Amino acid sequence: MKLTYDPRYNIAYICLREKTAQVKTIEVSPELLNDSLTYF
């Protein structure tokens, strides 16, 4: 598990495992982003 923090945007990211997919971020609203995974 990896925890990172971006003070510029005051947001934390939790990564539970290594990346095995491509991620596409969809902006639902300025406050909400949705990450969709595409597995290979």
Global model pTM greater than 0.75: no
pLDDT in tens, 2-36: 889 999 989 898 888 776 678 788 888 888 888 87
Q: Which residues contact 33 (CB under 8 A, 6 or more apart)?
A: 25, 26, 27
Q: What is the model's pLDDT at position 40? A: 54
Instruction: For residues 2 and 13, give the distance between their C-alpha atoms in angstroms, rounded to a whole number.
Output: 8
